[in-house]
Amino acid sequence: MAKKVRIGIVGTGGIANAHMKHYVTFDDVEIVGACDIVPGKARAFLDKYDLTKVPAFENVKAWTWSRRRTRPSAS
């Protein structure tokens, strides 16, 4: 069996629904979580696709790596 692509959904509005309709049809995709700033929206989104055991979050912190290192500026 091929390795699954693990996907977390950030923002559960219209575009997320359009994508999810396809994600759930693929055997090699695993939805591992969803997040939305509106309380309860991520949980409702996951439940709609019968993903009741997948965790829902109301906030996410994302870091990205950058070659450019800057110091915070004093305001």
Task: Assess whether pLDDT exceeds 70 at residue 72.
Answer: no
**Residue 48 — φ and ψ, nearest 5°?**
-60, -30
72, part of any domain: no
Query: The domain spanning residue 37 has which CATH number?
Result: 3.40.50.720
Mean pLDDT, the chain, rounded, equals: 88
What is the strand order of the sheet 56-57 is part of?
Answer: 5-10, 29-35, 56-57
Closest CA to 36 of 10, 6, 61: 10
Calpha distance 66→56 (Å, rounded): 28
Residue 73 lies in a domain: no
Number of domains the chain contains = 1
Per-residue pLDDT, 62: 74
Does some domain include residue 64? no
Asked whether residue 52 carries a pLDDT value surpassing 90, the answer given is yes
Instruction: Tell me which residue range forms the domain holding 34.
Output: 5-57
Does residue 29 fall inside a structural domain? yes
Q: Say if 9 falls within a structural domain.
A: yes
Where does residue 27 rank: exposed (0-12), middle (13-18), buried (19+ CB within 10 A)? Answer: exposed
Work out the pLDDT band at 49, boundaries 50, 70, 90.
very high
pLDDT per residue as tens digits for the range 17-45:
999 999 999 999 999 999 999 999 999 99
